[in-house]
């Protein structure tokens, strides 16, 4: 296989250089803030297996650009609210790329720098599916 022009790690590095990143401890302190929507980009199987942040909204990574766009037939009303949106994935890579793309679209948001795995390690609240 030919070498890629840009690695995935480089894409994440470039995204992180131009987006707002929230440290895990700060994100944990935001969990009960009614003006903050925590958006989980992980696959549904990850949420089932490892749990999720209480009150988080699940938005599969592949749908984010469509769900935030009011002109898309897939638009979700939650993204039309005047809230602070904080995205996360497992380790912060997918969410960094997503937030960079959404910011490019004009949707202001941030992400949890080190993701759900660090959230768990730091003792953040986790809910398990029923």
- If you average pLDDT over residues 4-30, what whole number do you get? 98
Quick one: CA dihedral 108, 93, 60, 5, positive or negative? positive
Q: Smallest Cα–Cα separation from 60: which of 34, 90, 91, 39?
A: 39
All domains in the chain, ordered by first residue:
9-121 (3.40.250.10)
Per-residue pLDDT band at 91 (split at 50, 70, 90): very high
pLDDT of 130: 81
User: Is the pTM above the cut of 0.85?
Assistant: yes
HSE, CB side, 13 Å, CA atoms: give it for residue 51: 11
Over residues 58-68, mean pLDDT: 98
Is the pLDDT at 35 greater than 90? The verdict is yes
CB neighbour list of residue 64: distance below 8 Å, 6 or more residues apart: 39, 41, 87, 98, 101, 102
Write out pLDDT tens, residues 93-112. 999 999 999 999 999 999 99
């Amino acid at each position: 296989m030919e070498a890629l022009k840009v690695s995935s790690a480089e894409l994440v590095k470039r995204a992180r250089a131009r987006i707002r990143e929230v440290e895990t401890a700060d994100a944990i302190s935001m969990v009960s803030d009614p003006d903050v929507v925590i958006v989980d980009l992980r696959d549904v199987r990850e949420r089932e297996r490892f749990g999720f942040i209480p009150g988080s909204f699940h938005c599969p990574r592949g749908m984010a650009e469509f769900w935030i766009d009011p002109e898309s037939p897939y638009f979700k009303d939650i993204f039309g609210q005047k809230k602070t949106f904080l995205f996360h994935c497992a380790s912060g890579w997918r969410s960094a790329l997503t937030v960079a793309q959404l910011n490019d679209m004009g949707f202001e948001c941030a992400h949890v720098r080190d993701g759900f795995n660090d959230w768990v390690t730091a003792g953040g609240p986790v809910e398990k599916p029923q």
